[in-house]
Structure 1
Amino acid sequence: MKLNLMLYGFVVVLWGTTWQAITLQQRSFISPEVAVFWRFLIASALLFSVLILFKRLKKISKEAHLLCLLQGCCIFGFNFLCFYYAVHYINSGLEAIIFSLAVLFNAINSRIFFKQVISPRFYMAACCGVSGIVALFWHDIYGVSFKPDVLLGIVLCLMGTYGFSLGNMLSVQHQKQGRDIFTTTAYAMLYGAIIMLSLSIIQGKNIVPHIQMISQMAILYLAVFGSVIGFCAYFILVGRIGASNAAYSTLLFPLVALMISTVMEGYVWTANAVFGIVLILLGNAVFFVKLQRLKLFKNKQAIN
């Protein structure tokens, strides 16, 4: 139990702080493509090193490599590119709040790709989530002066969150086919880095830019703690307490991110913002609580 709580707290803190690290990294005006490239190049190198050291790196098929390539595009590439660009338009803490809607996208994609039945509670959760986003950004979008940049930031975050969800579906497919999750994650990170490198070269970006020390530290933090340690801790937690229970972390780390943003970026809490955040988190809670109760009910039936 103590180990589960430690892992859970670790995931919440690590993923709650990565959003501010993204903001600090961008202060050197490093290209988002280059930033994502270095983050996952370092992360994949570290993860491969650990797997090789402990003889845990598994051989995978060509089909698995193709899925890893797609996963790299979705979860370790273009989705982060969206978030890195969005941080120029909206607060990093608000990015984390929007990202918490990933659970709703997961439900939709699970229905599309795996024919899983969508719970009736999903629609209530979705209404809360959409209403929460509207309330959260009401002042910026519908206020005295319309701010198209804010709207662009919201769209980018939603695109990034949906990409993350697609990556989750690919991870589920890996697990359904019995592949080692750490091996596939390492390859997916590597492929994501290669894709971002290719994109940077095509655009003529400098892949070894001169950046400030704070940005260098931010990249290392994102690669080591946010990517390798964060994902590994999360996957271990999933194995110990189940995916549904581990997913509760998405309710908490956005609040950590927003608290840090309040201190570091001077985010101002308005009545609309508080109401919107409560609606978004409530929507996620409604969905998760329903899933957990359904699981307990089925287990009870099986015992009887």
Structure 2
Amino acid sequence: MNAVLYILVVAIWGTTWIAIYMQQGVVSVPVSIFWRFAVAAAVMLVVLLALGRLRRLSLRDHLFCLLQGACVFGFNFYCFYHAAAYISSGLESVIFSMAVLFNAFNSMLFFRQRPHANLLPAAALGIAGVVALFWHDLIATQLAPALLLGIALSALGTFGFSLGNMISTRHQRRGLETLSTNTWAMCYGTAIMGVIALIRGDSFMPELSVRYLGSLFYLAIFGSVIAFGAYFTLVGRIGASQAAYSTLLFPLVALSLSTLYEGYVWHSNAVIGLAMILAGNLVMFSRPGMFNIWRKRTA
């Protein structure tokens, strides 16, 4: 079951970066985020109410859902959508892979949780592989100011996502159902973006084009309802640090699509990066301590 959830998250979220890029245009960022999660929250509410699965929460739990909505379904995407104007969707997905480190750090900070025995070597391989994948692009941009701003926004959004992971962990430790807390958090995130749009004086009219509405539907149903449900379920089953390792595979999906539709050329550094990321996955999901055992045997 964990493998199915893991693959589902990688397959969907690895493609949502392109959909976010397709949202760029005449519609403001808060309004695009508002409609994305308004649709997702409405679908979740209808389904859970029909199945009798929407659980009551205490006022304290609602406050944490409000905070989760701000972190995961609001301000983090506010950063990601703005970053898409400065850097490529592939590079955004690379920076988002830092979630594995943020989650490990925040798990120790908030829950005094020791990292998985294989996390550090796996993360080192994975992140080094991601850097190798995009080394050619990083050199080509020569660290322009726009690139630095895009990187900063993406890193800030990733940290917000990690904080939301910690709140989800808190929910599940209290025995709260993931679908219910996600739904309430989406509602609050939608409301927050709606208020921001109203304060800015933005129009709530979406762009009536196949490109915009198609990407909106994909982001709302697949990227939000399905993927977030699968991801936070995975957080509850294997922990935030291990679940976040899936983010290291997102750039591979983005690159595969770019190869098919944008003519991406695989340089030698990209092949090396791919090998390192796959090796990191093998280390991460091997038996705890296997890496240390292998190191002792070869010493």
TM-score, L = length of structure 1: 0.81
Q: Does the alignment pair 1:96 with 2:93?
A: yes
Any residues of structure 2 matched to 1:22-171 within 5 Å, and which? Answer: 22-26=20-24, 28-118=25-115, 145-171=142-168
Q: What is the Cα-based RMSD across aligned positions, in Å? A: 3.2
Shift of 1:258: 2.0
Find the aligned partners of 2:38 and 2:141 in 1 and give their Cα distance.
44
Contact 2:103 2:244 in 1 (8 A): no
Contact 2:22 2:212 in 1 (8 A): yes
Summarize deviations over 1:19-63 as a string: whole Å, max 9, x none. Answer: 11111122x332111111110011011011111010000000000
Which letter maps to 1:16?
G
Find the aligned partners of 1:285 and 1:111 in 2 and give their Cα distance.
24
Find the aligned partners of 2:84 and 2:267 in 1 and give their Cα distance.
20
Q: 1:214 aligns to what?
A: 211
Contact 1:141 1:151 in 2 (8 A): no
Which letter maps to 2:92?
E
2:197 to 191, 197, 200: 200
Find the aligned partners of 2:4 and 2:143 in 1 and give their Cα distance.
44
Q: 2:288 aligns to what?
A: 293
Moved more, 131-140 or 44-53: 131-140
- Matched residue SS, 2:288: helix
2:185 to 181, 184, 188: 188
Unaligned runs of 5+ in 1: 298-304
Unaligned runs of 5+ in 2: 293-299
Find the aligned partners of 1:246 and 1:58 in 2 and give their Cα distance.
25
TM-score, L = length of structure 2: 0.82
Summarize deviations over 1:146-191 as a string: whole Å, max 9, x none. Answer: 4111111111111111111000000001111111111000000110
Moved more, 260-269 or 134-143: 134-143
Contact 2:119 2:242 in 1 (8 A): no
Summarize deviations over 1:84-118 as a string: whole Å, max 9, x none. Answer: 11111211122122212211100000111111234
Shift of 1:139: 5.9
Summarize deviations over 1:233-272 as a string: whole Å, max 9, x none. Answer: 3455567x64477555334333112221344445455555
Find the aligned partners of 1:25 and 1:144 in 2 and give their Cα distance.
23
- Residue 47 to residue 272, structure 1, CA distance change in 2 (3 Å): same
- Matched residue SS, 2:213: helix
Any residues of structure 2 matched to 1:253-268 within 5 Å, and which? Answer: 253-268=250-265
Q: Percent identity?
A: 51
Which letter maps to 1:219?
L
Q: 2:295 aligns to what?
A: none
Q: 1:10 aligns to what?
A: 8
Moved more, 260-269 or 184-193: 260-269
Shift of 1:206: 1.0
Shift of 1:280: 6.8
How many corresponding residue pairs?
290
- Residue 130 to residue 192, structure 1, CA distance change in 2 (3 Å): same
Which letter maps to 2:181?
T
- Residue 195 to residue 238, structure 1, CA distance change in 2 (3 Å): closer
Find the aligned partners of 1:17 and 1:165 in 2 and give their Cα distance.
20
- Residue 95 to residue 268, structure 1, CA distance change in 2 (3 Å): farther
Find the aligned partners of 2:23 and 2:127 in 1 and give their Cα distance.
30
- Matched residue SS, 1:293: coil
